[in-house]
Amino acid sequence: MNVVLVLDLLLLVVAAGLWVAAWPLRDARAGTPLLMAAVLATVGRAAVVVALGRAGWWFLPDRLVTAVPLTLLAVVAGIAVTRRRKPAVPVLIAAAYLAVAGLAVQLLVGYPVTAGGLVAVLGPGAAALLAWRLQARAARIAVVAAAAVALLAAGVTAAAGSRLPDRLHHHAEHGVSVADLRGPARPPTRTFTLTARAAVVTLPSGTTVDAWTFNGLLPGPELRVTQGDVVEVVLRNELPDTGVTLHWHGYDVPAGEDGVAGVTQDAVPPGGTFTYRFVAEDAGTYWYHSHELSSTAVRKGLYGTLVVDPAGTRPAETDLVLPVHRFDGGVTVLGGSDRRETRDVPAGRPVRLRLINTDNNAHRVAVSGTSYTVGAIDGRDLNGPASLTAETTLRLPAGGRYDVLFTMPAGAVHVMVDGRESEGLLLGAGAAPAHPDGTELDITRYGTPARGPFGRYDKDYTLVLDRLIRFLDGVPGYAYTVNGDVYPDIAPLLVDEGDAVRTTVVNRGTDSHPMHLHGHHVLVLSRNGRAVSGSPLWLDTFDVLPGEVWQVAFRADNPGIWLDHCHNLPHARQGMVLHVAYRGVTSPFAVGRRTPNHPE
Ligand code: C2O
Ligand code: CU
């Protein structure tokens, strides 16, 4: 699909260039090869658009607006040229305009097609046509001037409208405040202190990282608790001039503990503290990170891991937590190490590897030397996972977690990230096993089906992800959009407590978007129209690749105001953030120029 989207964009640009180059050459003979190339590029793109349409209607309307008339003109021009005649000049001019307008529609309008967007793109053409037909010079000037003023006014209005106000409150009608939706008052059974501070950390290879850390460590401390614990975490901020929060990624805590600056709390200022408390109800693999300036903070090191062991006795295991992270400058670590680590594990010992992607991009993990299963994804056990070998690789989306389980064999086992054979983790004794070429595990077909909890849906939403030119806080940019808008203007998904909510997520762009919903796990229903045929998949982060359409559902069982965003955090910073808002829940916190809060 990515190939088709890239081809579409490529043909769009090429056709626009060729038509513009072709129309002033009124001598058909000189223009013929160019013209034929323009015709072919246009017809080729029409075929690509038809192919795109097979993925769903969301990919079509903006493209059809210009592709249909342009293709007709291309056919007219093509017929003329094959008959050795010169196409009419108006045909060439109109084609050139439509070809360029097609590019503008693609960059500015997207989905859904709005009247305003169409006027902005096609209006100048209409004005030019009018000016050309008019006889009086004054009338021509008036038309051109009016069109220019209208365009400028629209641009200025959009820029001004995108500026963040001093304080922007979320859903401030009457109701329960997120500040009152806190964890239990009873005393904690486990307490931790995490202190944010700047530190220069030396990695095992000797490379140093100029980092923001929790307790001076990269990654931050592993918080390991037992199901049922009342967990208390005191956050202290000793960073010189940045606010900090703690967000429990994938852990469905009460809204007031969710740690989003400007939504569930104010960012903790330098010198300040905040105490989080929640019951560890679910077992599994999770992580935590700051949610103030998260795109900078997480990359610089303000992250760590959270593991909740099931209550009751469990077999003696080798249980390793392995976050994959990339720092500025490109150094990648598995766990805390940027070189090969080795560890002795006796044969016959059950092993659990908790792979966590704390980076902005997906990473490919391969396990060789043993057969294994993926026992859990995003902290939720899978149903009947089948045994895999090194011929299968795992694509770990940004923010996601896979628990890999196996019994230690007699030989060594190697865990490799992104094909870097000389690094990674080597378990057991003996030579490192080789990695064959692998194919990626399709998690939607892995494991055994079981009946899902949803029968009907109370709410049905669609999120169309794209990349469009938009103003972000007054500055124009090639932003990441949802339904054509950027944060904070994306309409929230309004839900009532108890709702079964179905969401269709469509990726029209050429980047992948690991979408992360706070406070809930979603059940994946289908991908690209094909129902999940493996284990039920309860995810908090699902990677929507270019051209993909995912349908997911969740139960609105955790009242609050929750972020729903792309976990490629620079994408979030460039607009791809919205809220799931429960009716009747308000927030006293605000984002904006006169607040300490910048969640992304
Ligand atoms: Cu990992 Cu909005 O979070
Ligand atoms: Cu994204």
What integer pLDDT is reported at residue 594 of this predicted model?
Answer: 87
Per residue in 555-591, pLDDT tens? 999 999 999 999 999 999 999 999 999 999 999 999 9
Distance of CA 517 from the midpoint of ligand 2 (Å)? 13
Q: What is the distance between the alpha carbons of residues 279 and 172, in angstroms, rounded to a whole number?
A: 28
Return the ligand number nearest the Cα of 576.
Answer: 2
Q: Count CA atoms closer than 13 A to 118's CA, side-chain side.
A: 11
Burial of 59 (0-12, 13-18, 19+ CB in 10 A): buried
Tokens linked to 431: 């030579």
Which residues, including other chains, have CB under 8 Å from residue 25's CB and lie 6 or more apart? 31, 34
* Ligand 1 atom 3: residue of nearest CA: 249
**What angle, 0 to 180 degrees and rounded to 10, lies between the N-to-C axes of helices 89-108 and 28-53?**
40
What integer pLDDT is reported at residue 312 of this predicted model?
Answer: 82
Q: Which atom of ligand 1 is nearest to the CA of 541?
A: 1
Q: Is the CB of 291 under 6 A from ligand 1?
A: yes
Return the ligand number nearest the Cα of 289.
Answer: 1
Q: Is the CB of 571 under 6 A from ligand 1?
A: no
Q: What is the DSSP letter of 576?
A: -
Distance of CA 482 from the midpoint of ligand 2 (Å)? 10
Among 144-148, 189-193, 195-199, 299-303, which is the least confidently predicted range?
144-148
Distance of CA 398 from the midpoint of ligand 2 (Å)? 10
Provide the edge-to-edge strand list for the sheet that holds 208-214. 208-214, 190-202, 230-237, 273-279
Q: Is this structure's pTM higher than 0.85? A: yes
CB-CB contact of 309 with 225 (8 Å): yes
- Cα-based torsion angle of the residue sequence 280, 283, 284, 285 in order, rounded to the nearest 10 degrees: 10
pLDDT above 80 for 102: yes
Pick the closest to residue 307 from 317, 297, 293 (CA basis).
Answer: 317
Q: What are phi and psi of 576, to 5 degrees?
A: -85, 65
Strand 513-517 to strand 541-544: parallel, antiparallel, or no bridges (unpaired)?
antiparallel
Return the ligand number nearest the Cα of 481.
Answer: 2
Return the ligand number nearest the Cα of 571.
Answer: 2
Pick the closest to residue 47 from 20, 80, 12, 21 (CA basis).
Answer: 12
Distance of CA 543 from the midpoint of ligand 2 (Å)? 9
Distance of CA 479 from the midpoint of ligand 2 (Å)? 10
- Cα-based torsion angle of the residue sequence 585, 586, 592, 597 in order, rounded to the nearest 10 degrees: -70
Pick the closest to residue 589 from 179, 234, 244, 292 (CA basis).
Answer: 179
Q: Is the CB of 401 under 6 A from ligand 1?
A: no
pLDDT above 80 for 28: no
The mean pLDDT of the chain is 93
Distance of CA 83 from the midpoint of ligand 2 (Å)? 49
* Ligand 1 atom 1: residue of nearest CA: 249
